[in-house]
Amino acid sequence: MAYTTTLHWIVYLPAIGLWLLAFVALTVGGALGPVSLLVAIVCALLGLGLAFSAWFRRWTTEIDVTDRRIVYKRGFVRRHTVEMNMDKVESVDVDQSILGRMLNYGDITIRGTGVGIEPLQNIDAPLEFRNQVTAR
């Protein structure tokens, strides 16, 4: 295995946002009494569900570059696997937002002769991934 990557930690951002909202509801919303407590509990539980979902998606996603192929796997029970031979790769496109540039994540599209791999979203270190593919 030459290079392995997965989804970036940015997939946890919605959960973190809900936890911050729960914290604000507890601290600032004290004047509202039980309503703020209820809002905080709901936000915290939704955040927990989103965090677990993001962790599971990140845990079950694997992207590998070997000397012969690129392999993209995702899923646990229902597994989706795409492989592309390195000699079929024409280009590797990387799309990064400003936040993506600062936090080192982005979307990758691999174009091949006659085939392509679906866009891989929120990938950790996309420029390093591209360099690993194009260096071969």
40 membership: H or E segment, kind and range:
helix 34-59
Give me the pLDDT at residue 15, please.
96
What are the E-state strand segments in the chain? 3-5, 62-65, 69-74, 80-85, 89-95, 105-112, 116-124
Give me the pLDDT at residue 116, please.
72
Is 2 contained in some domain? no
Give me the pLDDT at residue 30, please.
67
For the chain, which ranges sit under pLDDT 50? Answer: none
Give me the pLDDT at residue 136, please.
66
- Give residue for tokens 């866009």: 119
The residue segments making up the domain with residue 13 are: 9-57
Q: Kindly report, residue by residue over 80-107, the tens digit of the pLDDT.
A: 888 888 888 888 899 999 999 999 999 9
44 and 76 in a single domain? The answer is no
Give me the pLDDT at residue 1, please.
65
Cα distance between residue 10 and residue 5, in whole Å:
14
Is 4 contained in some domain? no
From 19, 39, 57, give the residue that closes a domain: 57
**Domain count across the chain:** 2
41 and 74 in a single domain? The answer is no
35 and 74 in a single domain? The answer is no
Q: Which residue, 55, 85, 80, 52, is CA-closest to 70?
A: 85
Give me the pLDDT at residue 43, please.
94
Q: What is the average pLDDT score of the chain?
A: 90
Is 3 contained in some domain? no
